[in-house]
A = this chain, B = another copy of it.
Amino acid sequence: TPESAERTAVPGVATGLAVTGVGGDVLFVEASLADPETGSTGVALTGQLGDVMKESAHIALSYLRSHGAELELPVGDLKDRGVHVHVPAGAVPKDGPSAGVTMTTALASLLSGRPVRSDVAMTGEVSLTGRVLPIGGVKQKLLAAHRAGITTVLLPKRNEPDLDDVPASVREQLEVHLVGDVREVLDIALQPVTAPVLSA
> Do B48 and A10 touch (CB < 8 A)?
no
> Do A46 and B32 contact each other (CB < 8 Å), given the known contacts A125-B89, A198-B70?
no
Q: With an 8 A cutoff between CB atoms, is A137 at the interface? A: no
Partner of A62, one of B13, B44, B55, B199: B44
Number of copies of this kind of chain in the complex: 6
Cα distance A64–B194 in the bound complex, in angstroms? 24
CB-contacts of A70-103 with B (<8 A): 70, 75-76, 78-80, 82, 84, 86, 88-91, 96-97, 100
> Do A128 and B32 touch (CB < 8 A)?
yes
> Do B66 and A35 touch (CB < 8 A)?
yes
Q: Which residues of B contact A56 (CB under 8 A)?
A: 90
Cα distance A84–B64 in the bound complex, in angstroms? 12
Q: With an 8 A cutoff between CB atoms, is A129 at the interface? A: yes
Q: Which residues of B contact A198 (CB under 8 A)?
A: 69-70
- Pick from A68, A88, A91 the residue with the most CB of B within 10 Å: A91
Q: Other than the known A12-B129, A70-B198, what 5 A-B pairs have Cβ atoms closer than 8 Å?
A: A30-B129, A66-B84, A70-B199, A88-B125, A88-B133
Shortest Cβ-Cβ A-B pairs, 6 listed: A39-B79, A90-B97, A34-B65, A30-B128, A62-B84, A46-B55
